[in-house]
A and B are shown apart, each in its own frame.
Chain A
């Protein structure tokens, strides 16, 4: 089974039914799977902080949300993560493409990659890094952990994990 299919199966198995996405080339396959999944309401967002607002509303409406975005979004969403998601104690799994790692062809992506883990650590966001294809096996447990602790949780997925960019 492809990692994209496995990720979306785990979302459904964990009752995640509201997913917002801002695209990245690395995430194209998993976004297609989200769109194709009947049990998930897929709502593309124009910016990641907007997407986190949508997720906050969906959560309060009784749905389990998730956001799929690129690591550059960490730079966009610090205020929202701190003053909305964390301040009101809401769960939010964040499946993040970790651009700028080994295999990256676009030099500028490395500029944000070097700050990604430091920013997440500064924000006290539990962070997991998928590098090998097998790492996807942890995704189910990470989702359970996220909805247990009511926190935003980051899953960084690099080019090696996706077998290219």
Chain B
């Protein structure tokens, strides 16, 4: 399975929660598959999906799922200790780990080689870290939501992309409709 197939599988779960979605293809795929006002699409700023999601989870009570990639987590490695040391039980970090920089032409990342993000997350002090195969993602995500425990999920999948249009929605519109859902 590739990332877009995982997003399609988990879309019904995502639709029930606040989602902060990583820059580039992940946001474009989620936008194409199931656009919701409860989705915050990142149009820039590689690496900060996990940080935005954590800040959001710490600031209010609704459940937050940050969809991130292995390349983005590598870019913002400092995020994992911050997450581990600021526990928000309404927060899930879903790292879709396809071992490549998908949006830029599938260049390999170190996460697909010798570096295990699962081990790194645990070493940083994250208590609930689950590594799963792509096919298991919907069940693992639902379980994490039901546990009411902050969870980091590292979902191992194949690298590959589908053709998707860019998001043309204005960023202030994305933010405004998202904040209305947060406040509702």
Contact = CB atoms under 8 A, between A and B. Distances in A.
Contacts of A82: 44
B82 A58 contact: no
Interface in B112-142: none
Given A46-B78, A46-B82, A61 B58 contact: yes
A47 B80 CA distance: 12
Contacts of A53: 45, 47-52, 55, 76, 79
A151 to B, nearest CB: 13
A109 interface: no
Interface residues of B, number: 34
Given A53-B55, A54-B52, A87 B43 contact: yes
A57 interface: yes
A55 B44 contact: no
A138 to B, nearest CB: 27
Interface string A43-65: 11111011111111111111101
Contacts, number: 117
B58 A58 contact: yes
B167 interface: no
B172 A88 contact: yes
Contact of B59 (A45, A61, A87, A88): A61
A46 B78 CA distance: 5
Interface in B39-88: 40, 42-45, 47-60, 76, 78-79, 81-82, 86
Interface of B: 20, 40, 42-45, 47-60, 76, 78-79, 81-82, 86, 171-172, 174-175, 178-179, 182-183
Given A54-B82, A89-B175, 11 more contacts: A49-B48, A49-B76, A54-B55, A54-B58, A57-B52, A57-B55, A58-B55, A61-B59, A83-B45, A88-B175, A89-B172
